[in-house]
A and B are shown apart, each in its own frame.
Chain A
């Protein structure tokens, strides 16, 4: 256990050192800090709105599926599969927003 812990600490330290170098490079590369600031703000808001709306949609589908399962436990398997498909389709919209935010921040 001690060995594992120290190994993990060493790996993390390596990651942090490399991350610091990366952050310094990014700061030097950011020529226009105003644009960068608004990129950060807009993408954070976009992802927050998308996550909130997606969470509401997913919670509605999950609660309906659970109610259906409670009324008719025999239909639980079918309901679960349909629910997972629906959740994936709802979640993919949030994921599109996430990808667009990545493009905004990095691109």
Chain B
């Protein structure tokens, strides 16, 4: 997708000139590590500054996750929080002119989506052992020949849909921003401010949706053998 990015700030670094997505992923990672170090270097009981911001974020995501998963979802908070912060920053770095959103490259997204895919199945096996296979056989045992292929396809479609949704949205945003950038020159505006603000909102929504669907998939793996109303809705959302 570097076709859409005729000009990048960091394209002078020789080893990465063909892989700008990797390069900007490293930028995001460096930023996250720097913020984490700055926030936790001197922890205080009454938080201030960076620590305050991070704690607000942490509590917001945690509260939302308690609502979606309940207390049994607590061990999976690090996965969800990491995905949320990482994906949001990866999406939002694309609104800077001369920077590229790593999520507009399909490889970044499929990495995250496969992580969620394997994590949900690992969590399910750890929770209910071999009984986890009953998730795939449907509510009645003699319906299993019908249900198993459907469930298998439905489970395999999850990483595909997670990947392509994020990829398409962020690529579309980047394309629109690029086109508006060219138009802005015609009317002597420096930057497409309005679309950049909207792209920030869209980045947030996309990271939120990715994380929300991951939570629903984890909830589907954690539920018991009986399909209650909420879990059934979650198991078929993809």
Interface of B: prevailing SS:
helix
| Interface mask (A78-107 → B, CB under 8 Å = 1, otherwise 0) | 000100110011011001101100100010
Chain B residues positioned under 8 Å from A12 (CB to CB) = 97, 181-182, 184-185, 190-191
Distance in angstroms from B164 CB to nearest chain A CB is 6
Interface-facing stretch out of B30-38, B84-92, B128-136, B207-215 = B207-215
The answer to the question of B155 belonging to the interface, with a C-beta cut-off of 8 Å to chain A, is no
The answer to the question of B41 belonging to the interface, with a C-beta cut-off of 8 Å to chain A, is no
A63, B4: Cα distance in complex, Å: 36
The answer to the question of A72 belonging to the interface, with a C-beta cut-off of 8 Å to chain B, is no
The answer to the question of A33 belonging to the interface, with a C-beta cut-off of 8 Å to chain B, is no
Choice from B3, B182, B190 contacting A7 with Cβ under 8 Å: B190
**A89 x B237 contact (CB < 8 A):** yes
- For chain B, residues 79 to 103, give those with C-beta under 8 angstroms from any C-beta of chain A: 97-98
- For chain B, residues 58 to 85, give those with C-beta under 8 angstroms from any C-beta of chain A: 68
- For chain A, residues 1 to 59, give those with C-beta under 8 angstroms from any C-beta of chain B: 4-5, 7-9, 11-16, 18-19, 21-22
A11-B98, A98-B172 known; A92+B161 contact, CB < 8 A: yes
**A15 x B181 contact (CB < 8 A):** yes
A4, B165: Cα distance in complex, Å: 34
Minimal Cβ-Cβ distance residue in B for A82: B233
A5-B190, A13-B185 known; A22+B205 contact, CB < 8 A: no
A7-B190, A81-B212, A85-B213 known; A96+B168 contact, CB < 8 A: yes
Q: Give the interface size bracket for B toward A.
A: 20 to 34
The answer to the question of B167 belonging to the interface, with a C-beta cut-off of 8 Å to chain A, is yes
**B209 x A84 contact (CB < 8 A):** yes
Minimal Cβ-Cβ distance residue in A for B190: A8
Distance in angstroms from A4 CB to nearest chain B CB is 7
A13-B185, A15-B7 known; A84+B168 contact, CB < 8 A: no
- A-B pairs, 4 with minimum CB distance: A8-B190, A18-B6, A95-B168, A88-B209
B residues sitting closer than 8 Å to A (CB atoms) are 3, 6-7, 68, 97-98, 161, 164-165, 167-169, 171-172, 178, 181-182, 184-185, 188, 190-191, 205, 208-209, 212-213, 216, 237-238
27 A-B pairs in the complex with CB atoms less than 8 angstroms apart = A7-B190, A8-B190, A11-B7, A11-B97, A12-B181, A12-B182, A12-B185, A12-B190, A12-B191, A15-B7, A15-B98, A15-B181, A19-B6, A19-B182, A81-B68, A85-B237, A91-B165, A92-B164, A92-B165, A92-B168, A95-B164, A95-B167, A96-B168, A99-B167, A99-B168, A99-B171, A102-B171
A residues sitting closer than 8 Å to B (CB atoms) are 4-5, 7-9, 11-16, 18-19, 21-22, 81, 84-85, 88-89, 91-92, 95-96, 98-99, 102, 106
- Other CB < 8 Å A-B pairs besides A8-B97, A92-B164, A99-B168, 13 of them? A8-B191, A9-B190, A12-B182, A15-B181, A18-B6, A18-B7, A19-B6, A81-B212, A85-B213, A85-B216, A88-B209, A95-B164, A99-B164
